[in-house]
Chain A
Amino acid sequence: MVAVRLAMGAIDVPLRWVQRRLGIGGMATFFLLPNMLIFGIFVLLPFFINFAYSMTGGTALFLPDRTFVGGEQYARLFDCVNYTDPNSCAEDTFWTAVGNTAWFVVLQVTLMILFSLITALILNRELMARSFWRAVFFFPVLLSPVVVGLIWKWILQRQGLLNFGLYGLGFDPYTWLNDRNWSFAATVGVSIWAHMGFYTLILLAGLQAIPKDLYEAAEMDGTRPARAFWRITLPLLMPNLLVVVVLVLIRAVQIFDEVYVLTGGGPGISTLYITQYIYETGFATQLRNPGLAAAASILMGAVLVVLTLVQLGLGRKGEKKGARK
């Protein structure tokens, strides 16, 4: 502590000189500078370079060494005979990944919202040891995706806990992660398991902010609980619910870590999602193609922006509707 205090005192001397030169207002720039510098170099710069990257070809790493190809990478991504069949495309893995991701998003977002809403409603009841139960559902949120992936890989493998349980019920052991459909279901289930508690917490905060006299008034009017739920709870929870939907959607589109450890995109490419496609095209395969990966990542970024805007637009409409009722 003494060392820190001395260091800070020592820094103060040159900084007083800086302050005399810049003036008090100028010190704002000084305080903002480190964050903005890191930000500019590691977020904004790559964001803009990405567009240039997506218009170049070859395997060279640095932008000046790359050849300009215009919209060729995009043309390659969209080169399909029949857009409903990924196999008819030049980049069939890209479209398979897009299709997988779309299915994943639809299923995972629906189930995630459903489960976290139910859990939040239950945790909002008068419960014994409520903070304990909240902790139970929140616990996996802090685990690293790698740990989550490994825990479930261990449970779903042939000698795993799931087969043990089913064996007790008279079923034969099965290698779940070698089955296309089951491994897809596993990625959906595991990602819900890992993140549900986070969204439950946001919804629970929303539920607890609903003024209770509304319910008392409804009770006096003889409103049934189910009706109170649809007419009071749900409309007043809408802002939180929308935040959750946007967050779940955005994260679901980018799913990577847990799945990469759990299935590695397999069997085959049945659980290959779009981020893994970008990662493998850009870095991991023998025939790496950073330009193509950049083009794909820009398309994904565009989808993310559109999804957010649509959700925000819907949210505004929904709020107005709710207010009118």
Chain B
Amino acid sequence: MSRVAEFIFRRRGRNGWHWTDVFTWVWLIGGLFIMFGPAVWLVGSSFKSPAALAEFPPSIMPYVTQKATVEGYDKPLDLYEVTMPEGSKKVLAEVRRIGIVAQMVSPDKPTEIVKVNIAERTPVRTMSFATSNYSEPFTHFDFVRYLWNSVFVTVTATVITLIVNSMAAFALSKYEFRGRTFAMLLILATLMVPLSVIMVPLYSIISALGLFNNLWGVILPTVATPTGVFILRQYMLTIPDELIDAARMDKASEWQIYWRIVLPLTAPALAVLAIFSVVWRWNDFLWPLIVLSRKELYTLQVGLSVYSGELNVQWHFILAMTVVTMIPVVLVFIFLQRFITTGIAGTGLK
């Protein structure tokens, strides 16, 4: 295949660089920065203290100004490296600042106040990872609960999706019955009915069933995925009917045929659907936003969006929790990317 590509953009002259070669590498390297850069910047920023986040221009690594406790002062004071009038450099602690003049003391001689122009000093900074950005939301806020809600929704919805969709796919691939084509068409037609079109009446149905402000109200409408039925059916069609006939001869019930024979043989397609379902449900936003209005029921996505929309955004917590929200998906990406890419290339599903 790659020879095809080589032909389309072949190099003029084996050793020289055709413009397409240059363009390719500019595009790839640019892509590397644009695609990965933002996520890397997010992770880097999530370890900065609030003070470091407010800085402009921002530093690449998380730095904090060093502080020192000086005798006679209650609070720890910021340390600065000061260029003294005679040219030597000294580390002093700032007591207070009035306009462009700072009153500073030497940590060894707390009584002697030196006045310094602020242009002649630079803060003493050390690298420090603000891990409290991660630990605090889990202890002081509801993020553990959001995390749990998200995990519950994702796992439950995926398990139900797998069972319900595989049962339907089994019926649609291994039985002849009236209305089979109609059922299949009906399922595929609903691919054209997205949530944004039916959200108003769906909300009333969920409320009528008493599932408003209930995690089941988030889970149930998502589990009968048409794409899931479709890929599982396509896969089950490749399982030879002789296997099933043989099992019937041996007095296996239809349920046993489904559970003991067809399902194990469908494992690869089930794995692909499971991966997709986990990513879909973990990332769901609009529907949980509508169904869940009580804080303790929020999923991670809803919680994050609500906190980031507040007037006084606590970016240091938001960034850290965004990273936490990213972790499962990044793990899926690293370990299961192959399944996903072949799944998409084969069926065009997302």
Chain A residues in the interface with B (C-beta under 8 A): 8, 11-12, 15-16, 19, 24-25, 27-32, 34-36, 38-39, 41-47, 49-50, 53, 61-63, 118-119, 121-122, 124-127, 130, 133-147, 149-155, 158-161, 163-164, 167-168, 173, 193, 197-198, 201-202, 204-205, 207-208, 210, 212, 215-216, 219, 225, 228-229, 233, 243, 247, 250, 254, 256-257, 260-261, 264, 275, 278-279, 282-283, 290, 293-294, 297-298, 300-301, 304-305, 308
Contacts and interface: CB of A to CB of B under 8 A. Distances in A.
B52 to A, nearest CB: 10
A203 to B, nearest CB: 10
B198 A36 contact: no
Nearest to A45: B205
17 contacts: A27-B171, A31-B167, A61-B204, A124-B1, A124-B4, A136-B28, A138-B341, A139-B333, A144-B285, A150-B42, A154-B45, A155-B41, A207-B4, A215-B4, A247-B350, A260-B305, A297-B200
Given A125-B9, A282-B203, A301 B35 contact: no
Interface in B306-342: 308-309, 315, 318-319, 322, 325-326, 329-330, 332-333, 337, 340-341
A35 B58 contact: no
B5 interface: yes
Interface in B165-194: 165, 167-168, 170-172, 175-177, 180, 183, 186-187, 190, 192-194
Give the most central of A34, A130, A202: most B CB within 10 Å.
Answer: A34
B5 A126 contact: yes
Secondary structure at chain B's binding surface: helix, strand, loop or mixed? helix
Given A136-B32, A283-B290, A32 B283 contact: no
B167 to A, nearest CB: 4
B176 to A, nearest CB: 8
Interface stretch (B90-98, B116-124, B220-228): B220-228
Contacts, number: 320
A158 B316 CA distance: 15
A37 to B, nearest CB: 8
B73 interface: no
A300 to B, nearest CB: 6
